[in-house]
Chain A
Amino acid sequence: MELSQVRYFITLCRTLNFTRAATQCNVTQPAFTRAIQRLEDEFGGPLIFRERSLTQLTELGRNIRPHLEAMLDAADAARATADAQTNRRTEILKIGLGPGIGAGAIAGVIREVTTALPDVTIHFDESGPAALVESMLTDALDCALLPDHCDMPERLNRWNLYRDNAVAVLPPEHRLLARNAVTAGDVVDETILVGESCGGFATRLAAESAQPLRLQRCHGATSQMLELVGAGLGIALLSNRLRFAAPLATRPFTEPDLSRGILLAVVAGRPLNPAAASFVKLCRAQRFA
């Protein structure tokens, strides 16, 4: 199929009007109609349903639209990124990070984007999944890393990136530092600090544990919670991908398995600027450790 055919089809999907779509694409209507017919021939059926003044997508048309839209966006982004590099355009890459999800896993990807496009500004927004989804839908964020168990609308495309495992974050000289790994039975007598930015590990443990756990609510940034751990108020269960400064130490939390999948989410059908498009492509192209 040709780039122009796909562009015509997507324009027609958006306008549902042959005359207007042909005008927008700067092509005569007969040429526009022929291009759509050739696309219909390739896909083996009508993509557009036309009856008098009513123009609608057929089921086949509705099914292929998101894929052709993504391919068209990818074609435009590949070229736009090359242009942005040549012309040194200023871009902002706005990434949402769900609760307890650090930027460590994507730091290499961001380094690559900023190397190719040096005038990019990186903007992180750490928040709950619902707030990040809302920000993406209102175009305040380009994309977000979210835990795989959160509710997401159909309008979001999503790709699995990696798994996050839980670690117990312990103050210096804590008795559990003598263990190679920590289990639910080990923390029954411990105070576990739990907040909105913890990533839900402690909450899941509390839900799955046969015995009641001593949970201390502590909302705010992870850095503040870690200061409380350092002061001996309790321990924390956080992602193994976060970095913890000495004297804090960690032990893998192994039983039960509290690991969670981390997804990359993007609003379907919304073109991204070159920096964001490059970030998403780099994330999708590789396998995260």
Chain B
Amino acid sequence: MPTATPDTLQSRLDRLLASRREAAAWNAAYEHWVAELTRNGAVDHALRPGDKFPDFILPSAEGRLISLSAIRATGPVVICFFRGEWCPFCRLMLAALAESLPEIEAAGGTLLALTPETGGLPLDMKTYHKARFEVLSDVDCGVGLATGVVFTIPKLYRALLAKSQPNFPDRHGNGGWLLPVPATYILRPDGVIAWRFLDVDFSRRPEPADIIAALREIRATA
């Protein structure tokens, strides 16, 4: 009798990816995206465990200024970079994180979601997911750049996006066509990175269970 596969975040992402790949143009742009970022190593030098994550102050979805140092003074911080509210893979991950937030908090973590979107879109994202965690607007991708997770959108994917919504220049408030890899970092209270998940393939995301396990590990070794 076959064992039922648990409905993990990655299994949902895989199903979404499979359905998207049925469209030839989307599939070609996706494959080019992964191949190009693998080839050019744009995020090869992104911050990694042992590095100090740069302190920042960024605006929240509700129009508050949120200080990383103030938050990490209370315990470990989970920082998730998102491509934006338009990305269905990001939406799946945000939903999973919103669902897992009680466990993340129980493990001592504070979750911060960073998006390059502006103009009230971070609040839309937060409202849609009924998220209790902070969604911050990384305006002009400054923190993403300091982390080393920003890259220029490969041409095929950019052409695909340019033909449809979203209108990136409006969403980002700049015409840079830059995005972060949807990386996840966990920082110790001293700001040093304890754990990260980073994949140039935007359909690969960390399981909330892995984030929670990493937080518990930090607490156990503190």
Contacts and interface: CB of A to CB of B under 8 A. Distances in A.
B56 A78 contact: yes
Contacts of A70: 140, 174, 176
B142 A74 contact: yes
A137 interface: no
Contacts of A43: 152
A187 interface: no
Interface in B11-59: 40-42, 45, 54-59
Nearest to B146: A75
Contacts of B148: 1-3
Interface stretch (A110-118, A124-132, A190-198, A236-244): A110-118
B119 interface: yes
A42 B140 contact: no
Interface stretch (A80-88, A207-215, A246-254): A80-88
A146 B152 CA distance: 32
A50 interface: no
A210 B68 CA distance: 58
A64 B153 CA distance: 13
Interface string A99-112: 00000000011001
A72 B139 CA distance: 11
Contact of B145 (A6, A44, A82, A281): A6
A86 B145 contact: no
A1 B67 contact: no
Contact of B151 (A42, A64, A76, A284): A42
Nearest to B177: A67
A81 B60 CA distance: 15
Nearest to B68: A82
A41 B36 CA distance: 10
A42 B145 contact: no
Given A3-B148, A81-B56, A287-B119, A67 B175 contact: yes
A1 B144 CA distance: 10
Contacts of B120: 285-287
A64 B41 CA distance: 19
Contact of A78 (B63, B143, B155): B143
B69 interface: yes
A67 to B, nearest CB: 3
B41 to A, nearest CB: 8
Q: Which range holds the interface residue count of chain A?
A: 35 or more
Contacts of B138: 74
Interface string A259-289: 0000000000000001000101110111100
A73 B140 contact: yes
Interface string B138-179: 111111011010111001000000000000000001111110
A286 B65 CA distance: 12
B176 A85 contact: no
B142 A77 contact: yes
A89 interface: no
B64 interface: yes
B54 A67 contact: no
Contacts of A280: 139
A286 B155 contact: no
A84 to B, nearest CB: 9
Interface in B91-148: 118-120, 122-123, 137-143, 145-146, 148
A67 B142 CA distance: 11
Interface in A30-57: 38, 41-44
Nearest to B137: A285
Interface of A: 1-3, 6, 38, 41-44, 64, 67-68, 70-79, 81-83, 85-86, 108-109, 112-113, 115-116, 159, 274, 278, 280-282, 284-287
Interface of B: 40-42, 45, 54-61, 63-65, 67-69, 118-120, 122-123, 137-143, 145-146, 148, 150-152, 155, 173-178
21 contacts: A3-B148, A6-B145, A42-B151, A70-B174, A71-B141, A74-B138, A74-B141, A75-B54, A78-B56, A79-B54, A79-B56, A85-B67, A86-B69, A112-B65, A116-B57, A159-B118, A278-B57, A282-B65, A284-B118, A284-B139, A287-B119
